[in-house]
């Protein structure tokens, strides 16, 4: 007779392996959270410390307001506070490009979603292809075109390319294709409305969530664009804040040792403070439009 005992199954037998699996899963999640949150926390805490504290002290040690005042003073003294000019240029370029992008995307997306005409599929395919191309690919042809038109070196050389926004055209096309009942449009036409009146009185009011989406994504895309204004604009005073931050980076001794003896007071805290200032406008835009943005993103999930 065998003395070996057969283990009986019981729900509590799986308790320990389940706890180990859960703990392992939470460790992975926390590891990813720390990996992505740490740079953000460091960015907002860096202006509260001196450059030496950033290098030699633990990054979670609290800073001081005096260090923030010093960083602010040094940043404002850099080329007479040119950081505000860079931020103003970004608002100007991104704002005007956003207005043009919303107008063109609304008309193009609505026409592609509602109307049937020759070449419609080809236009859709072209917008998809352009949307998937990296931004840097078209910068050189755009520069040659701007030089031929005489706009190179002016704000128009940056604004006009950014106003063409294929991703927005596809957003509006998908929104109207999935959320605009054709029966409403047909009823309006039967009642005597022209195509312009159908668009203005029915499609435009119903398309407000898509307008919010295109506005936000167009503005942030234009705001974050670096290579196009870097190539197009020759003057430091006409730079947007993305190119200006690169100018600050090259003026920081920690990243460019050749400027160590130039007497400039731009160090890592001043660079972090400038980056925080560059983020604020986009953050404010998101906070004021988050309800419309969520409505626009959820609208695509609705069925007619």
- pLDDT tens per residue across all 304 residues of the chain: 444 555 555 555 566 667 777 888 889 989 988 888 888 888 888 888 888 888 888 877 778 888 889 989 988 988 888 999 999 999 999 999 999 999 999 999 999 998 888 888 899 899 888 888 887 888 889 999 999 999 888 999 999 999 989 999 999 999 898 888 888 888 888 888 888 898 888 888 888 888 888 999 999 999 999 999 999 998 888 999 999 998 888 888 777 777 665 556 688 889 899 999 999 888 888 888 777 777 766 665 555 4
| SS3 per residue for the chain | CCCCCCCCCCHHHHHHHHHHHHHHHHHHHHHHHHHHHHHHHHHHHHHHCCHHHHHHCCCCCCCCHHHHHHHHHHHHHHHHCHHHHHHHHHHHHHHHHHHHHHHHHHHHHHHHHHCCCCCHHHHHHHHHHHHHCCHHHHHHHHHHHHHHHCCCCCCHHHHHHHHCCHHHHHHHHHHHHHHCCHHHHHHHHHCCCCHHHHHHHHHHHHCHHHHHHHHHHHHHHHHHCCHHHHHHCCCHHHCCHHHHHHHHHHCCCCCCHHHCCCCCCCCHHHHHHHHHHHHHHHHHHHHHHHHHHHHHHHHCCCCC
What pLDDT is recorded for position 299? 64
The pLDDT of residue 286 is 84
pLDDT at 116: 86
What pLDDT is attached to residue 304? 46
Angle at which helix 82-114 crosses helix 268-299, to 10 degrees, equals: 20
**pLDDT of amino acid 1:** 44
Q: How large is the greatest C-alpha to C-alpha distance in the chain, in angstroms?
A: 100
Q: What pLDDT is recorded for position 96? A: 95
């Amino acid at each position: 007779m065998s003395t070996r005992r057969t283990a009986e199954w019981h729900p509590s037998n799986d308790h320990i392996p389940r706890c180990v699996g859960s703990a392992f899963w939470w460790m992975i999640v926390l590891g990813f959270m720390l990996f992505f949150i740490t740079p953000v926390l460091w960015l907002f805490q860096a202006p509260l410390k001196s450059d030496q504290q950033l290098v030699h002290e633990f990054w979670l040690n609290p800073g001081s307001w005096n260090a923030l005042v010093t960083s602010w003073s040094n940043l404002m003294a850099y080329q007479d506070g040119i950081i505000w000019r860079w931020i103003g240029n970004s608002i100007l370029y991104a704002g005007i490009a956003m207005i043009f992008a919303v107008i063109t995307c609304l008309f193009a997306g609505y026409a592609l979603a509602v109307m049937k005409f020759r070449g419609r599929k080809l236009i859709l395919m072209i917008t998809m292809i352009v949307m998937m191309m990296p931004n840097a690919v078209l910068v050189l042809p755009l520069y040659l075109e701007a030089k031929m038109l005489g706009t190179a070196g002016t704000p128009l050389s940056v604004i006009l390319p950014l106003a063409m926004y294929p991703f927005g055209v596809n957003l509006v096309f998908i929104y109207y294709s999935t959320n605009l009942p054709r029966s409403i449009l047909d009823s309006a036409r039967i009642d005597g409305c022209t195509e312009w009146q159908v668009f203005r009185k029915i499609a435009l009011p119903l398309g407000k969530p898509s307008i919010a989406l295109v506005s936000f994504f167009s503005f942030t895309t234009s705001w974050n664009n670096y290579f196009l204004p870097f190539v197009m604009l020759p003057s430091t005073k006409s730079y947007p804040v993305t190119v200006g931050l690169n100018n600050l980076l090259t003026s920081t001794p920690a990243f460019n040792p050749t400027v160590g003896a130039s007497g400039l007071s731009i160090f890592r805290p001043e660079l972090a403070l400038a980056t925080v200032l560059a983020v604020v406008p986009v953050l404010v835009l998101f906070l004021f439009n988050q309800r419309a943005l969520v409505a626009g993103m959820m609208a695509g999930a609705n069925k007619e």
